[in-house]
Chains A and B, each alone.
Chain A
Amino acid sequence: MIPRIAALALTTALTIPAMAQARPVTLAARLTNYGGDGAYLAFYLTDAKGNYVKTIYMAGGRPRYYRHLGDWMRLSNGDYRGLSGITGASIGSGGLLQVTVDVADSLIDAGYTLHIDAAAQNFREMPSEITMPFTSANANQVQTSRGYIHAFAYNM
């Protein structure tokens, strides 16, 4: 009996702090009516020196096309492994992406920049179509762009 409670206490002690260190972040992007096939979007963070830190979400399931997300590919050196569990479908023309991902607290307000690379078949490649400081202060601040993304915001 006692060892079981001890084990429970131990696991709880380990998991609760881990959960406490991540927070759900909702990404919301409305695309323009560019009139093509589904767009691929990579959401990732770089540090102050411009070095790749981590991908937080990838819209588009075929790794074969990731080379068209030029900055993501170059900066992350093809971080396919880092995409496990955070990959979803590509987003159609005029479509809405709304997805919630868990982001470690240590990545927020840490001087990191959020990049969004976008591309669609037969259309322009837009590496770093949006870049913005990834801070809690920037949450709910709507960003617009001249590429695929009509409007983007995250909240946490």
Chain B
Amino acid sequence: MLRRLHRYAGLVAAIFVSFLALSGAVLSVVPALNRAATPAVSSTETVAQLAGRVAAAYPSIDQIRRMPSGQIVAYYYDGNTPVASVVDPATGKAVSDYSPQPFVRWMTELHRSLFLGDNGRIATALGAAAMLLLTVSGMTMLARRMGGWRQFFGRARGPGVQRLHIVLGRFAVAGLMLSATTSLYLTAVIFGFVSDGNPMYPPPPPTVDGGTPLPVADLTALQDIRIPQLRELTFPYQGDPTDVFTVTTATGDGSIDQATGQWLNFTDHGLAGRAYEWVYALHTGAGLWWLGLILGAMALTVPVMGVSGAIVWARRQSTRPKIAHNSGASHADTIILVGSEGGATWTFARTLHDALVAGGHKVHTAAMDSLAAQYPVAERMIVMAATYGDGAAPASARGFLKRVNEVAAPTFPVAILAFGDRQFPKFCEYAVEVEDALARAGWRCLMPTRQIDRQSSQDFAAWGTALGQVLGEPLDLVHQPVLPRTQGLQLIERVDYGAEVQAPTAILRFALPHSSLWARLTGRGFPRFAAGDLVGVVPHGSPLPRYYSLASSMRDGILEICVSKHPGGLCSAQLHDLQPGDSIDAFIKANPDFRPRRGRTPVILIAAGTGVGPLAGFIRANTAARDMHLYFGGRDPQSDFLYHRELETWLQDRRLTRLTTAFSRVGERTYVQHRIREDAAALRDLIGQGAQIMVCGGREMAAGVMEALADVLAPVGLAPATLKAQGRYAEDVY
């Protein structure tokens, strides 16, 4: 619901809100420019002193105004010509002509009404309302995604564009909310729904003394007003002893007898007056030039937010299959909630959805994060939860566990279907967590949880049969996995290692497919990738892709992977049979969490065997010569020392700071874990400098490395888990 609100408000209003934000950003520099052109005002001097000086310099003075920018403007006559000048309060003399700059006036009018009068003002108010809606819904969604308001400023995860959207959103949200709210307030004042404190009617005419007028500097009432408090001072008609001084200050307005110098009347503008002044200053930055610049910078993010939001939406559309006949949450009998990282679980959900709809059910399918507080007519819920990485919640379920505690346990029962990969030690760990949480919260169980290993269509069909029995109706689930669109990649070079130590390994380099500009613009070109991302290869004879870490980035102009030949491995065997000129079908899968963090802090890279691939990619890209330390483990330096020659070059041109190797079949027969323990002091020092650790390799090696690092870090009171939580310990394990 919230997401839909955010999405539609965003898509509909993006261009108009961006226009409002950009025009506002242009205007935001005006207060800072004005400030530079404004003579300093002493905050202790009084209006009597100021008026005395101006009246001495310009006897024909009509009115003195203090503008919201802080400028003091005097209106008087030069002979018969009316003049408005910015005056220096210290001298009372004009320093420049006062005339609202045409460009600023034009821009202001465009910003607030598009030159369309009241209709334009209503349109911009609607734009501000859309902005407010977007900020509030966006913040709430983000809090859910991060797992609560307290984690609101935690590390943003996810693909680059989404991270950009989150990071910019968090930066700008406060300013955008302020600008939108104050804009609505000002519009309400303009249309008379809210008072600005000015009285609608003048006070009853005062009885004036009529005696000889005092010099303006001697008016007692004006001696009590400090210059920053002044808004307007209007002089009486010259030679009319019955006329009065009228004064507007920050708190109200009144009139002063020119003979006695005393107040004749004063109307307090009250809270409404003060509120209006503040809201005006907060919206325009007038008198608060630094705030103006901050708000302007925040407004500049709006178009970027619009574009990145649209891209996130488009990507979601492409990874999340369209669900036909999706009923609303409030009138569905069956609720399917999906926790999916890459989109595969959604395709299973769609198969189930379609089968249930064909059986006459009204089905509502949504992300786990969209768990609603109530499903009034639901009879059952099915939670389809994948596990991301090492037991983490998948992208569409990050806030689910927290949400479960916020809603009441439903009366209908729930079934859990867990998706995972048995190769990972924490197989279906997240689904287990969900099951525990639901049980604790008092949810009833529809049927036992079943686990689906590596997207097995057979497992899924068997579960469907079981569900059918519970529902008392046949349920035939035939799942066709949907793969991302693959493209042909042609091998241009291969370098072989490790045959002598029974570990045949090849570095394979493929040419990038040529994408036309049109294809790239329409998102059908070969996607951008960087070292550490994954390439999915679909082998002949199996519909399931195998993933390999990329050892090159798009800007290297090639796609490089490092593959060892597994006994009986279907895909690795096919890859090892490739000769230059041969092609494979492949697609890119982003892996944004496995990447060196930005900045200049050192990076400790630890790999064994083919795990060195993505790390070599990071080193190759390290032209800025940031501190990078590589620990590499192999069997025999004569045989499987992958990237041997490249690493030598990179050491020389400082892309690599230090290389430490361990070989298990020669000499002392060491593993990288040994080297890590030996280098304990140096590693603690690097980590003290804020170093990030990146580990890539087999599961056993990664566990051994973590254990060794735990020992290394213990004396300084750190643990790998702590570093992980800070995003300083990344693993890519297979």
Interface residues of A (CB under 8 A from B): 35-37, 62-64, 67, 70, 73-74, 77-78, 80, 122-126, 146-147
Task: Check B202 for interface membership: any CB of A closer than 8 A.
Answer: yes
Q: Which residue of A lies closest to B192 (CB)?
A: A64
**B234/A37 in contact, CB under 8 A:** no
On chain B, the residues within 8 Å of A36 by CB distance are 100, 105
Query: Which of B99, B190, B199 makes the CB contact (< 8 A) with A35?
Result: B99
Is there contact, CB below 8 Å, between B202 and A125? Answer: no
Give the residue name and chain of the A residue nearest to B253 (CB).
Answer: A67
Separation of A146 and B79 alpha carbons in the complex (Å):
11
List chain B residues, Cβ under 8 A from A77.
201-202
Contacts of B43 in A (CB 8 A): none
Q: Is A124 within 8 A of B99, CB to CB?
A: no
Is the beta-carbon distance between B234 and A124 smaller than 8 angstroms? no
For B77, give its contact among A35, A62, A63, A146 (CB under 8 Å).
Answer: A146
Name the B residues within 8 Å of A73 (CB-CB). Answer: 202
Which 5 pairs, one residue from A and one from B, show the smallest C-beta to C-beta distance? A78-B201, A124-B75, A122-B100, A74-B202, A73-B202
CB distance from A97 to the nearest CB of B (A): 17
Residues in chain B near residue A70, CB distance under 8 A: 234, 246
> Which A residue's beta carbon lies closest to that of B205?
A74
Complex Cα distance, B234 from A126, in Å, reads 11
A64:B190 contact, CB within 8 angstroms: yes
Contact string, B55-97, partner A, CB cutoff 8 A, digits 1/0? 0000000110001000000010100111010000000000000
Which residues in B have their C-beta under 8 angstroms from that of A62? Answer: 190, 192
Residues from chain B with a CB closer than 8 A to the CB of A124 are 62-63, 75, 82, 84
CA distance A73 to B81 in the complex (A): 25
Knowing A77-B201, A146-B77, the reply to whether A125 touches B100 (Cβ < 8 A) is no
Within 8 A of A (CB), among B241-292: 246
The answer to the question of B476 belonging to the interface, with a C-beta cut-off of 8 Å to chain A, is no
Chain B, Cβ-Cβ closest to A74: B202
Give the residue name and chain of the B residue nearest to A80 (CB).
B200
Docked-complex contact A147 and B202, CB < 8 angstroms = no
- In the complex, the answer to whether A63 meets B192 with C-beta atoms within 8 Å is yes
Does B102 have its Cβ within 8 Å of any Cβ on chain A? yes
Task: Name 23 A/B residue pairs within 8 A (Cβ), A-sorted.
Answer: A35-B102, A36-B105, A37-B109, A62-B192, A63-B192, A63-B200, A64-B189, A64-B190, A64-B192, A67-B198, A77-B201, A78-B201, A78-B202, A122-B67, A124-B63, A124-B75, A124-B82, A124-B84, A125-B63, A125-B75, A126-B82, A146-B77, A146-B81
B84→A78 contact, CB < 8 A: no
Q: Which residues of A contact B190 (CB under 8 A)?
A: 62, 64
Cβ–Cβ contact A78 & B99, under 8 A: no
Min CB gap A50→B, angstroms? 10
Which chain B residue has the least Cβ–Cβ distance from A121?
Answer: B100
- Across the interface, do B82 and A78 meet the contact criterion of CB distance under 8 Å? no
Q: Assess whether B196 is interfacial by the CB under 8 Å rule.
A: yes
Structural contact, A123 and B84, CB atoms closer than 8 A: yes
The CA of A73 and the CA of B205, in the complex, are separated in Å by: 11
Known contacts A78-B202, A122-B67; can you find 5 more A-B pairs with CB under 8 A?
A: A37-B109, A122-B100, A124-B75, A125-B62, A125-B234
With both beta carbons as reference points, the residue of chain A lying nearest to B232 in the complex is identified as: A125
Chain A nearest CB from B106 CB (Å) reads 11
Task: Name the residue of chain A whose CB is nearest to the CB of B118.
Answer: A61
Tell me the B591-640 residues at the A interface (CB within 8 Å): none
Cβ-closest chain A residue relative to B75: A124
CB atoms of A78 and B205 under 8 A apart: no
Q: What 0/1 readout, one digit per residue, does chain B (198-225) give for beta carbons within 8 Å of chain A? A: 1111100100000000000000000000
A121 to chain B, nearest CB (A): 8
A147 touches B82 (CB 8 A): yes
Q: Give chain A nearest CB distance to B74 CB in angstroms.
A: 10
**Bound-complex Cα distance A35 to B84 (A):** 13
Query: Are B80 and A146 closer than 8 Å at their CB atoms?
Result: yes
Q: How far is the CA of A36 from the CA of B106 in the complex (A)?
A: 10
Task: Tell me the residues in window 362-408 of chain B with beta carbons closer than 8 Å to chain A beta carbons.
Answer: none
Within the assembled complex, what's the spacing in Å between the Cα atoms of A123 and B616? 68
Task: Compute how far the CA of A126 lies from the CA of B67 in the bound complex, rounded to whole angstroms.
Answer: 18
In whole Å, how far is A115's beta carbon from the nearest beta carbon of chain B? 13
The interface residues of chain B lying within 8 Å CB-to-CB of A123 are: 84
Q: Give A5 Cβ to nearest chain B Cβ, in Å.
A: 48
**Nearest chain-A residue to B100 (Cβ)?**
A122
A151 to chain B, nearest CB (A): 16
The complex places the Cα of A125 from the Cα of B232 at a distance, in Å, of 11
CB–CB B105/A37 < 8 A: yes
Of residues 402 through 423 on chain B, the ones whose CB sits less than 8 Å from some CB of chain A are: none
> Which A-chain residue is minimally distant from B80 (CB atoms)?
A146
- Are A35's CB and B100's CB within 8 A? yes
Of the candidates A37, A67, A122, A146, which one forms a contact with B82 in the assembled complex, judged by CB atoms under 8 Å apart? A146
Which residues of A have CB within 8 Å of B200?
63, 78, 80
- Measured between beta carbons, the chain A residues less than 8 angstroms from B80 are 146
Bound CA–CA A38/B196 (angstroms): 21
For A37, the chain B residues whose CB sits under 8 A away are: 105, 109
What is the minimal beta-carbon distance from A26 to any residue of chain B, in angstroms? 25
CB distance from A71 to the nearest CB of B (A): 10
Closest Cβ of chain A to B241, distance in Å, is 15
CA A70 to CA B198, docked complex, whole Å:
14
Q: Which residues of B contact A78 (CB under 8 A)?
A: 200-202
Residues on the A chain within 8 Å of B77, using CB = 146
A126 to B100, CA, bound (A): 18
**Of all chain B residues, which has the CB nearest A148?**
B82
Complex CA distance for A64 and B192, rounded to whole angstroms: 7
Q: How far is the CB of A51 from the nearest CB of chain B, in Å?
A: 11
| Nearest chain B CB to A65 CB, angstrom units | 10
